[in-house]
Structure 1
Amino acid sequence: MNRESSLTDKLRHYFGFDRFKGQQEEAIKSVLAGNNTFVLMPTGGGKSLIYQLPALLLEGTAIVISPLIALMKNQVDSIRGMQSEDNIAHFLNSSLSKAAIQEVKNDVLDGKTKLLYVAPESLTKEENIEFLKRVKISFYAIDEAHCISEWGHDFRPEYRRIKPIVEEIGKSPIVALTATATAKVQHDIQKNLGILDAEVFKASFNRENLYYEVRPKIKPETQIIKFIKQNEGKSGIIYCLSRKRVEELAETLQVNGIKALAYHAGMDAATRSGNQDKFLMEEVDVIVATIAFGMGIDKPDVRFVIHYDIPKSLEGYYQETGRSGRDGGEGKCITFYSYKDIQKLEKFMHGKPVAEQEIGKQLLLDTVSYAESAICRRIILLNYFGEKYENENCGNCDNCLNPKEKVEAGDEVARALKVILEVNEKYKGEHIANILIGNKTAAIKSFKHYTLETFGSGKDHDERFWNAVFRQSMIAGIINKDIENYGLLKVTEKGHEFLKNPTSFMLVKNHEYEEEDDSANAGGAPSGATSGDPQLYSMLKDLRKKIAKKHSLPPFVIFQDPSLADMSIQYPVSLDELQKIQGVGQGKAKRYGKEFVALIKQYVDENEIERPEDLIVRTVANKSKMKVFIIQSIDRKISFDDIANSKGVEVNDIITEVEAIVNSGTRLNIDYYIDDVIDEDRQEEMFEYFREAENDSIEAAVEELGEDEYSEEDIRLMRVKFISDMGN
């Protein structure tokens, strides 16, 4: 019987599969032949089989080095499930008792164990090194090998110590496996493990079934809830960068009727693994998680992966989005992008070693150019991993489905190439862009690059434009990034040819994402509150005027402009729904709401309006413990200064919170504090001002009353008293 068919027979015998996937068979033969082997296969490509089958066939025990305890346990359980004997596979890590460790060691020494999974930390323990010296080792398999590289998205320093330890234990072939690696990371892995001679097996990074989309980060919670409701019952993962955001978002989804749970490293192990199991067993639809979640999660039918925050690197992004649609079915990958998030990530890097900051910055720049670029997302992703995508339009990403205009940029590409060559290909994109624009940065001054002939030769465009030129020239193979010194721009042969014989170069213009406006103050109405339905908005204003007249109150005491604007977007038709409107609490809804919801209901019926019920995002009740604390403190007549001191904030912040509480209809009696800080005559004058005022604008009040006489803080306090006394 020839070896080909016998290998397939062994596959069927041990794993029950009829045939190999992709390059699995060739890679397995390389391991069986005792070669050093490097395997790069995207998530779901069947990497683990490449070391599991040879381990069962070869003499001795294969040592599998894996970074996560949960991952090891899953792998060992799945192998045991397919074999008749449990001791065929074991793991050795800090979660085992002394007795259990001894049992594992006995099985290995008796030759019963074919696969021994070890955490890199356990590998460095002296007693384990001594033990492994007594074992016949068939080969070492290093899983998640990207952890070796500082350029990988999950660098772990202990992975750097694998090679010296392996050499101390005794040399055997090395198999390195990873699901994401750029050319730079691959080179790092092979160099560090001393396997530059390895047989390399690379599968395509193209996952045709995945749809990629980047959206501006405006009201992301609303967008997420709407998306999930449109995809009812489907499994999904939402990634956030902070544990706090994970918990808040999971809670918001729950109160909006979505079966969601949180997952992050700060939770106790039992809750965490319980939540993971509920997701795997389909008791919940959505997991909101930090990137701690998902390594080794073998759920084939995850239908969407949403990034609430943009990831720190494209490798991380590829790995996380790759957890959707592993069965080849639908997989939607949606990312929310805001440049403010990038600035936050840059801030987190301060204080880290300079080399680490430099790497982090480069990886972030790649992520930014992916998000802002308007060319096919697949082309960019595959190019990042050193693969060329032949089609110009993949038909399954936002940029291909909504193409942006192209502009002729042959001249600009030539200008960029000239600068790169004039500085001897020794600088990064950011520096090249500054030379082109004519920015005299500190670096440009110190290298005297303002004296270059090309300095300022591209000042007719901004940095974003030049970034698009670099990115798209890379994809066209005209420039590339140096592998050893990642980030330095080099001109390729094709680039030199382009300079000799310039041709047309059509450039796709980058996206310009809007940013969410944070300027709305918690006090009065933000200026220019925008309404959804202008006709309804004007009817609501008329109704407010009529009710205000009836109660002899200024209209803003009934409901403020932003509340009316929100009503004209959400169309609330019951008091319960009205309470979900911005700035409307239970008190306001009960006191004035009846006529408003009656008007909206009639309007909706008469105009046959389909209400966006899924857009009425319920916020978590009493989200702010601060508000409860303030209400209790005011009941006990504690001065605002003392409340502020006890919370480590300014008095101004306390007034802002008090404004929000009163504006949503809660009555607060702050007379004790006002009497303490404002004399009686001035109180009366300000109170009378608000009785006559057209709106509750603080600026208008300061102007009318005179800023020399009345401080902004005093006026805000009196506005709170007025609204609370008269309206709530």
Structure 2
Amino acid sequence: MTDPHHILEHVFGFSGYRPGQQAIVEAVLGGEDVLAVMPTGGGKSLCYQLPALAREGLTLVVSPLIALMRDQVAQLRRNGVEAGSLSSANDEEERSRVAEAVRAGRLKLLYASPERLALPATLDWLARSDVKLLAIDEAHCVSQWGHDFRPEYALLGDVRRQLGGVQTMALTATADVATREDIVRRLFQAPPRTFIHGFDRPNIRLAMQAKDNARRQILRFVERHRGQSGIVYCATRKDTEAFAQALSDSGFNALPYHAGLDAAARSRNQDAFLQEDGMVMAATVAFGMGIDKPDVRFVAHAALPKSIEAYYQEIGRAGRDGLPADTLTLYGLDDIRLRRLQIEEGEASEDQKRIERQRLNALIALAEAPRCRRQTLLSYFAEASEPCGRCDLCEGGVKVFDGTVEAQKILSAAVRTGERFGAEHLVAVLAGEETEAVLRAGHQGLKTFGVGKDRPKGEWRSLIRQVYALGLMQMDITSYGSFALTERGWAVLKGAERVELRADVLQPRESTRSRREAARQEAGLPADHALLAALKALRLEIAKAESVPAYVVFTDKSLIDMASLRPRDPYAMRLVHGVGDAKLARYGEAFLAVIAGHTG
């Protein structure tokens, strides 16, 4: 067996393990089955790649998407590792190379989709190919409780058995207790060694805002990150097109991505995002698990995500390199109503619907949280945390007030209008606005009409969301989101219980220039940006020539290290993060020349 530490340094170019990696690697090398739950960006892939190189035999990796397989194989091969994939995207030459390398015992890692492994001919061939380890990435897809359940993943227990009960490891970033138990039941004959290394991503800043003007809010946020790569998640295909156009009109390099585009267009747009710096992708959640780009600096949601797990998974695509990243999530009552409608009209079992309702309620609570967002998010995953100091609530401070009177006004308006109307109608009644609907219903004569004139309508919308999030009202999704009081709501209305609400205070806005400079400083970029720009230009030139994503050549973290350390020779270049022997031989001379040209 080859020394794992030698592989870590000379193949991957890392000076040490990330937190949690070493124990998992040692368990796998010890022959144990493993279930590993690690945060996105925590280095899950190394936990099976390193053992594959340290011992004899083939490691079979189950991966959800062709693009993800392609990029991981390209990265491994540039690190000097013999790797390949079983993919419909392979040409005849690549298929022959993979087959010959497997026959000769040279191939160390073989990637395949669960659909490909369902083919009897593929399994028969693999059963004769000395597979020593089955590594299942995105393992939450195995479970019916997972937020991305895929029926094809449910077949992997049979795949393992047909491979002779081969040693198996399952890896995921998002799996609550129910999902973990389901993974174990479906994949393993006996309980595996389980590692849960936390859900905290301290490099990611969390922020949420109530929707006001979604397009303006998103453009303002993205402007803070001009020149950086990011994702804007949208609720519909139409929205992705609209946001991509708005971003393009504002001078951003932006493209849309959704399932309605033909396969060739989706592939072109995804390749552009992976290969180019500073690209913004406006996308539905179809732009998902295959995104292995480490230098995504921001993720925005133009609408509320599906669940708290989906939110965690999607924001986790930012800052995979460990450098600071930013997020913004917009939410409104229409989003909540749509999500509830999707749950209730779905074909899932009642148990599944019950869990999905709980997950959505947790997400609403996060949106309206009166304390540190990281604390609220981690508490959902049963983790404790101190206030992070850098989410929007920590930075702006969270002011709560005795909102009992405001809550009673809202609850009274709901009761006096017959518990048959939604938020906008209640806002109009409270604000004393004689809308067509108010006049038609005769609600201008109610005692509650105009009792909220002391507050702007936007504040009443926020207060209604909070009252709903606190469980004082329930929403009837079959009648345009009408509100009815819950038992606790009646208690508040009668004065038997008090409630605290958030006082959302408008903060002075920074200038665009100061926000952009703050983002640059936060990302840890060197003061002299000229060298970093030159290194990125060379990286892009090489990536285009080799038809690979730019980060496959070197990640942003490696280039920042080069620009800071300014190595003058190959020995010094080996001290740069992510520069192993193979990459030093392949790219070292070209990058050293650029550094020399910028060193006085």
Query: What range is the shorter-chain TM-score in?
Result: 0.5 to 0.7
Q: 2:41 aligns with which of 36, 41, 44?
A: 44
Separation (CA, whole Å) in 2 of partners of 1:364 and 1:513: 26
Distance 1:360 1:611, change over 3 A: closer
1:369-393 CA distance string (max 9 Å, x none): 221222211112111222111x2x3
1:295 corresponding residue in structure 2: 289
Q: SS state of the match for residue 75, structure 2?
A: helix
Distance 1:357 1:106, change over 3 A: same
Contact persistence 1:90–1:116 (CA under 8 A): yes
Separation (CA, whole Å) in 1 of partners of 2:512 and 2:308: 39
The structure whose Rg is larger is 1
Separation (CA, whole Å) in 1 of partners of 2:106 and 2:239: 47
Q: 1:79 aligns with which of 76, 81, 92?
A: 76
Separation (CA, whole Å) in 1 of partners of 2:93 and 2:211: 53
- 1:340-489 matched pairs, under 5 angstroms: 340-349=334-343, 350-355=345-350, 356-389=352-385, 391=386, 393-400=387-394, 401-405=396-400, 459-461=490-492
1:303-330 CA distance string (max 9 Å, x none): 2211001110111111111222333333
Q: SS state of the match for residue 461, structure 1?
A: helix
2:169 corresponding residue in structure 1: 175
2:50 corresponding residue in structure 1: 53
Q: 2:186 aligns with which of 181, 192, 215?
A: 192
1:264 corresponding residue in structure 2: 258
1:316-370 CA distance string (max 9 Å, x none): 1111112223333332211111011121223234152334444433322222222
Contact persistence 1:146–1:181 (CA under 8 A): yes
Q: SS state of the match for residue 76, structure 2?
A: helix
Contact persistence 1:300–1:324 (CA under 8 A): yes
Distance 1:360 1:315, change over 3 A: same
Contact persistence 2:42–2:320 (CA under 8 A): no
Contact persistence 2:173–2:199 (CA under 8 A): no
Distance 1:292 1:192, change over 3 A: same
Contact persistence 2:7–2:53 (CA under 8 A): no
Separation (CA, whole Å) in 1 of partners of 2:163 and 2:94: 23
2:248 corresponding residue in structure 1: 254
Structure 1 residue 178: deviation in Å? 0.7
1:12 paired to 2:6: no
Structure 1 residue 283: deviation in Å? 5.4
Is the deviation greater in 316-325 or in 27-36? 316-325
Contact persistence 2:4–2:50 (CA under 8 A): no
Separation (CA, whole Å) in 1 of partners of 2:263 and 2:505: 39
Structure 1 residue 67: deviation in Å? 0.9
Whichever residue aligns with residue 11 of structure 2, its letter is Y
Distance 1:249 1:408, change over 3 A: closer
TM-score (norm 1): 0.54
Whichever residue aligns with residue 460 of structure 1, its letter is A
TM-score (norm 2): 0.65
Whichever residue aligns with residue 492 of structure 2, its letter is H
Q: SS state of the match for residue 190, structure 1?
A: helix
Separation (CA, whole Å) in 2 of partners of 1:281 and 1:196: 42
Structure 1 residue 45: deviation in Å? 0.9
- 1:626-641 matched pairs, under 5 angstroms: none
2:481 corresponding residue in structure 1: none
Structure 1 residue 10: deviation in Å? 2.5
Q: SS state of the match for residue 352, structure 1?
A: coil
Is the deviation greater in 44-53 or in 278-287? 278-287
Structure 1 residue 238: deviation in Å? 0.5
Structure 1 residue 288: deviation in Å? 0.8
Distance 1:285 1:129, change over 3 A: closer
Structure 1 residue 221: deviation in Å? 0.6
Distance 1:211 1:437, change over 3 A: closer
Structure 1 residue 267: deviation in Å? 2.1
Is the deviation greater in 182-191 or in 290-299? 290-299
Contact persistence 2:234–2:282 (CA under 8 A): yes
- 1:194-213 matched pairs, under 5 angstroms: 194=188, 197-213=191-207
Whichever residue aligns with residue 304 of structure 2, its letter is I
1:156 paired to 2:150: yes
Distance 1:243 1:36, change over 3 A: same
Distance 1:346 1:12, change over 3 A: same
1:23 corresponding residue in structure 2: 20
1:111-164 CA distance string (max 9 Å, x none): 121111111011111111211221212111000101112222211011111102
2:330 corresponding residue in structure 1: 336
1:316 paired to 2:310: yes
Separation (CA, whole Å) in 1 of partners of 2:472 and 2:274: 52
1:250-269 CA distance string (max 9 Å, x none): 11222233322112233233
Separation (CA, whole Å) in 1 of partners of 2:304 and 2:473: 30
Distance 1:239 1:511, change over 3 A: farther
Higher relative contact order (CA 8 A, sep 6+): 2
Separation (CA, whole Å) in 1 of partners of 2:51 and 2:401: 52
2:451 corresponding residue in structure 1: none
2:209 corresponding residue in structure 1: 215
Distance 1:26 1:408, change over 3 A: farther
1:470-506 CA distance string (max 9 Å, x none): xxxxxxxxxxxxxxxxxxxxxxxxxxxxxxxxxxxxx
1:222-266 CA distance string (max 9 Å, x none): 122223334432332100121111011111222233322112233
Structure 1 residue 293: deviation in Å? 2.1
Separation (CA, whole Å) in 2 of partners of 1:48 and 1:75: 9
Separation (CA, whole Å) in 2 of partners of 1:263 and 1:224: 17
Separation (CA, whole Å) in 2 of partners of 1:395 and 1:97: 51
Separation (CA, whole Å) in 1 of partners of 2:472 and 2:316: 38
Q: Identical aligned pairs, as a percentage?
A: 40
2:539 corresponding residue in structure 1: none
Contact persistence 1:301–1:324 (CA under 8 A): yes
2:300 corresponding residue in structure 1: 306
Distance 1:139 1:299, change over 3 A: closer
Structure 1 residue 187: deviation in Å? 1.9
Q: SS state of the match for residue 267, structure 2?
A: helix
Whichever residue aligns with residue 187 of structure 1, its letter is E
Separation (CA, whole Å) in 2 of partners of 1:611 and 1:224: 14
Separation (CA, whole Å) in 2 of partners of 1:16 and 1:195: 36
Contact persistence 1:148–1:159 (CA under 8 A): yes
Structure 1 residue 17: deviation in Å? 1.8
Aligned-residue CA RMSD in angstroms? 3.4
Whichever residue aligns with residue 182 of structure 1, its letter is D
Contact persistence 2:401–2:503 (CA under 8 A): no
Distance 1:225 1:203, change over 3 A: same
1:140 paired to 2:137: no
Q: SS state of the match for residue 144, structure 2?
A: coil
Contact persistence 1:240–1:288 (CA under 8 A): yes
Structure 1 residue 209: deviation in Å? 2.5
1:115 paired to 2:109: yes
2:501 corresponding residue in structure 1: 509
Q: 2:85 aligns with which of 83, 91, 98?
A: 91
